[in-house]
Amino acid sequence: MYIGDMAHNEDTAHQLFSKFQDYLGQFVYGGIDGCVTTFAVVSGAVGANLDSSIIIILGFANLLADGFSMSVGAYLSAKSERDNYDKHKRTEYYEIEHYPEVEKEEVRVAYRAKGFEGELLEQVVTVITSDKDRWADDMMANELQLIQDSKSPLAIGIVTYTSFLMIGLIPLSVYLWDYFVGFPGNVFLWACLLTFTGFSIIGFLKSYVTGVNRWRGVFETLVLGALAAGVSYAVGDILERWIVG
């Protein structure tokens, strides 16, 4: 019984990890955008010599609003792709139902182009066209180059928003600490250190999505964050000098 429970727990853990891998891309890009957005706000506010309470207000306003906007965009984009796939698949079902010989010839042409000939070609065509679902899926892939994404659009939106909030909160965490209990060190310096730690983690995960070298993934993400922070700080400083004087 104990061994069976362990096996069940391992299967459950494997399924959860597989699900996480499916949505890793959304988690990474949501996290990058969240960290860049919030850190840019913090850097710009510090460059403008704004008070910590204002930094927290601006930071959370951008964190929640931009995160929601990005997640809605990710959801609508995924849903549009799925709706487009479903529309074309309904068309394929209609054509299979009403013009089976024409559609069968299209399958034959597609697989002849792949090198199938003679009896083997006819066997392949027979197997594919013997099941309407398989037939429609094959036509979608070979004729239209469309493959259905198994990920849920709603889950994509939720993962994007969750990641945006989790990673985007890092630059604000030290300011929250300083506001409520007082921080003993340099608040902006520690916010930078924690933020770049967050960038490093996201960059490491990004390497699994893009397939690039892990150190390159970390480096690219750190450079992106540093550039965003530098531009925001400079703009905040210039505007503060120009407007306040």
**Above 60 in pLDDT, residue 4?**
no
Percent with pLDDT over 70 in the chain: 91
pLDDT tens digits, 170-184: 999 999 999 998 888
Q: Which of 109, 171, 166, 168 is nearest to 142 (CA)?
A: 109
What's the CA gap between 175 and 10, in Å, rounded? 40
Helix count (H) and strand count (E) of the chain? Answer: 10, 0
**What pTM was computed for the model?**
0.78
Q: Which two tokens stand for residue 85?
A: 């796939």
20-72 pLDDT, tens digit each: 677 888 898 898 888 888 988 998 888 888 888 999 999 999 999 999 999 99
